[in-house]
Amino acid sequence: MDSNKKFLNGTLNTIVLALLRENGKMYGYEICQLTKEKTDNKILLTEGAIYPTLHRLEKDGLIISSKEKVNGRTRKYYAINQSSLQEVESQIDLLSQFTGHLRSLLNLTT
């Protein structure tokens, strides 16, 4: 059914980077919701995956966090670390190439 889960491994890092680059800044919960909506419930990011990923990317210096209180709830926003922008672009490009190669290797058209 929603077994897209098993394909996610390895790509989550780059999904997050790509969404942040496109949307400026986002918080964890928002990333999950947006992904869910944009893929028609097909790619479901779990909180147990997204938060460790965000922490990892921040530790690696690729993104930067800032807390904001909105409607009494604390949101932790993340944005691309501009000094790592090149590295980020490069990683996104690699994923793009990978999916391209994969689709041609497997003659996928969908």
Partner DNA sequence: GCCGAATACCTAATTCTCTTATGTATTATT
Partner DNA sequence: AATAATACATAAGAGAATTAGGTATTCGGC
User: Residue from 23, 33, 42, 52 that binds its own copies (CB under 8 A)?
Assistant: 42
Identity of the amino acid at 63: I
For residue 42, state whether it binds DNA (rule: CB under 7 A): no
- Rule CB under 7 A: is residue 30 a binding residue for DNA? yes
Choose between 79 and 95: whose C-beta lies nearer to its own copies. 95
Crossing angle, helix 12-23 and helix 28-38, to 10 degrees?
A: 100
Chain-centre distance of CA 57, in angstroms?
A: 10
Q: Which stretch binds DNA (CB under 7 A): 6-14, 17-25, 85-93, 102-110?
A: 6-14
Does position 22 bind DNA by CB under 7 A?
no
47 lines the binding site for DNA (CB under 7 A): yes
DSSP string spanning 33-90?
A: HHHHHHTTTSS---HHHHHHHHHHHHHTTSEEEEEEEETTEEEEEEEE-GGGHHHHHH
- The pattern of x and - marking residues 84 through 103 that bind DNA according to CB under 7 A reads --------------------
